[in-house]
Amino acid sequence: MSRELLAWYDMHARVMPWRVAPADRARGVLPDPYHVWLSEVMLQQTTVAAVKAYFEAFTRTWPKLTDLAAAKDADVMAAWAGLGYYARARNLLKCARVVVQDHGGQFPTSYEALLALPGIGPYTAAAISAIAFDQPETVLDGNVERVMARMYDEHQPLPAVKPVLMTHAQALTPEIRPGDYAQAVMDLGATVCTPKNPRCGVCPWHDPCQARLNGTAAVLPQKTPKKKTPTRYGIAYVVWRADGALLLETRPETGLLGGTLGFPTTDWKETEPLAAPPLDANWQDTGQEARHTFTHFHLRLKIYTATVTENSQPSRGVFMTHAQFSRQALPTAMRKVYDLVTAT
């Protein structure tokens, strides 16, 4: 089965800026571990289409791991803005600096050593070890879970069935070309064994697939029903100074949007929050509401605005001119606030 999949991958591998094509790899061209790691971190909870532009921008700005390790935190957070899950960006910097400080700027090759690095979990450690260093480690992302659930017609729901799917995936992982195989099985799930309307007729594993034989592919993998997503509420304060500068603050490193630039807000609660403005001013309720969905809750931010004099002293945040910040440096939730108030 692994030989059949690799033969399919040699013809149908997706082209990605961080990937070495199978033909080039066969000639001895190896992927850059820095690129493999960076792409895998970016791809967590994010689509390939969304990641490509960010990856290319990061590698233009910081071509080597040592460049990223030496970067300013604020610059990296600004470059990450819009990708979401900002703890990834903070851990990206921590990991780069540990690799430079403790490993001479070279990623360790083993799964165990990779797993000890900041921000690298079991999946990412396996992916880097396999793809960058051709170690026979097994990757199990959402695409691979779907392929394994269908191949073996497993009806126990996720996430409880994960250990069973890992056992199946490990049994198929070859000693030869494990890096290409890891990418092949992910490509299979992304392009052929898709969540809806799987293309069973062109699948290299068409014949042995148990779900295809049993007519159950469309309903697999089963998933435990999700709980209803709660809604939290808050107030965002947009303050213009008389010279046009905007009041912005860097959010605490811990918590959602940690370390990112944004407008001062109240706490986000499941009940209407009490006002907590960053300075005394003639506040205006715009009647607008920025809405954004995080993994575990929906956020609704009322927007209050004010204009203050040039000698105003806020209790939090700093005034920044348009030359000192850009809309692109704001995370998506804060961009929505900015776009609403600047569109009026």
Contact assessment for residue 203 and residue 209, using Cβ atoms and an 8 Å cutoff? yes
Tokens 């490993």, located at residue: 103
Q: How many CB atoms lie within 10 A of CB 92?
A: 23
The H or E element containing residue 337 is: helix 332-342
Distance from C-alpha of 119 to C-alpha of 254, rounded to nearest angstrom: 14
Q: Could you give the CA distance from residue 311 to residue 32 in angstroms, rounded to a whole number?
A: 51
* Cα 125 from Cα 134, distance rounded (Å): 12
CB of 232 closer than 8 Å to CB of 268? yes
Q: What share of the chain is helix, strand, coil (3-state, %, to 5)?
A: 45, 15, 45
Neighbours of 166 (CB within 10 A): 18
Burial class (CB in 10 A: 0-12, 13-18, 19+), 275: exposed
- For this structure, is 253 an active site residue? no
CB atoms within 10 A of CB 13: 20
- The closest alpha carbon to 177, from 37, 334, 339, 20, belongs to 20
> Could you tell me which of 319, 283, 330 has the C-alpha nearest to residue 304?
283
Out of 4, 40, 249, 310, the active site residue is 40
Cα angle 51, 52, 55 (rounded to 5 degrees) comes to 80
Distances (CA, A) of 262 to 185, 251, 283, 293: 40, 7, 18, 17
Please identify every residue annotated as catalytic. Answer: 40
